[in-house]
Amino acid sequence: MSTVTAAICRITVTSPLSVLRLCFAEARPCVLVIFLLRFLTGAAMAGGRADLVAAAFVWEAAVFFVYLYNGVTDVREDRLNGSARPIAGGLLPQRTAAWIAVSAAVAAMVGGLLLGGPMAAAVPIMILLGLAYSGPPCYLKRRSGGAMATVTVAGLLTYYMGEAGAVPTPRLLVIALVMSLWMGLVGATTKDLPDAAGDAAAGRHTIAVTRGDRRVRWLASVSAASLGAAFLAAAVLVAPELVWPAVIMLAGAAAVAVLALSDLSQGDRSRRRRPYRAFMITQYGVHLMAIFVSVV
């Protein structure tokens, strides 16, 4: 470790605010925000909820635990894949991040109990999903099927909690199911494209490792196109107010397919992440539009 890096580590260890900032960076702000948008989409489609701020904070604490714990357990893969995340880069001590993750889980559990109702049961389920995904004995992250199932369930649970555990409306059922499958089938596959070599060295058995790069690209492309078309059809037939979010989804699906199947995502790690970036941008656009059409 260089002198400069060591100095940064000493500074961050002694500065709680800096440590917390690095923990948020490790937990991936773009992922934390999209989970918040899923939660708010559920709330908006239910007509709002009186405890929205408190409930969103509690749910985000649970999500923060899940992704920070994932960072704690992903150090070997991250380093092999050349990731710039704080723990892999030596800026955030692994043990410190683990303690903060545990603290977030405890805070979420207590908050869920105080809010009561479905939240009291859903928060522990979310935390257990995070534990099963990243750690022993399940290590669901090591296989694409496990990763797909985990993120799909986490997505569905987030929409349901946003709606405060009420009976889902048809429009929420449509967007929750389609966008959760978007996470599981498109997000979980495009995420693996730039990391296959490091994942293989770390003992993972994702589709990118076992079936190869080409198979993943076709799976992501076909899944994206199918979900985009299905969303638009369901919106027209069941929930017309979701037509514009569905149009955004279809455009994003086309972008994912074009990027995945062309030379635009071949080459270095940054280029190979382009399909995943298109997947993520599409999520943002769909949810922001869905919230807009629900509140206007």
**pLDDT tens track for 93-108:** 999 999 999 999 999 9
Q: Is the pLDDT of residue 250 over 80?
A: yes
Taking the C-alpha atoms of residue 107 and residue 110, their distance in angstroms, rounded to an integer, is 5
Q: Which residue has the tokens 């859903």?
A: 122
Q: How far apart (Å, rounded) are the C-alpha atoms in residues 207 and 72?
A: 23
- pLDDT tens-place string over residues 210-228: 888 899 999 999 999 999 9
205 forms bridges with which residues in the sheet?
A: 143
Indicate whether 110 and 181 sit together in one domain: no
Q: Supply the pLDDT for residue 29.
A: 96
Entry pTM: 0.91
pLDDT value for 47: 84
Residues 133 and 237 in one domain: no
Q: How many domains are there within the chain?
A: 2
Query: Do 127 and 201 belong together in one domain?
Result: no
174-214 residue pLDDT tens:
999 999 999 999 999 999 888 888 888 878 888 888 888 89
Q: How far apart are CA 282 and CA 154, in angstroms?
A: 18
Which range among 79-93, 217-231, 233-247, 257-271 shows the weakest confidence by mean pLDDT?
Answer: 79-93
Q: Is the pLDDT of residue 6 over 60?
A: no
For residue 176, CA distances in Å to 23, 52, 74, 180 come to 28, 19, 28, 6
Q: Are residues 254 and 137 in the same domain?
A: no
Q: Of 128, 144, 166, which residue sits at a domain end?
A: 166
Contacts of 24 (CB under 8 A, 6+ apart): 32, 64
In-domain check, residue 4:
no
Token pair for 128: 């257990």
Same domain, 13 and 153: yes
Residues 6 or more apart in contact with residue 160 via CB below 8 angstroms: 42, 118, 122, 168, 176
92 vs 130: CA distance, rounded Å: 20
CATH of the domain at 40: 1.10.357.140
What mean pLDDT, rounded, does the chain reach? Answer: 91
Query: Quick one: tokens of 91?
Result: 């800026």
Could you tell me if 148 and 184 are in contact, meaning their C-beta atoms sit under 8 angstroms apart?
Answer: yes
Q: Which pLDDT value is given to residue 5?
A: 41
- Which of 50-64, 95-109, 155-169, 280-294 bottoms out in mean pLDDT, i.e. has the lowest? 155-169
SS3 percent helix, strand, coil of the chain, rounded to 5, is 80, 0, 20
Query: What pLDDT score does 16 carry?
Result: 86
Whether 3 has a pLDDT exceeding 60, the answer reads no
Q: Which residues are CB-neighbours of 100 under 8 A, at least 6 positions away?
A: 19, 20, 23, 68
Residues 55, 120, single domain; the answer is yes
Predicted confidence (pLDDT) at residue 12 exceeds the cutoff of 60: no
99 lies in the same domain as 237: no
Structure tokens that stand for 134 in this block: 């990243």
143 φ, ψ (degrees, to nearest 5): -130, 140
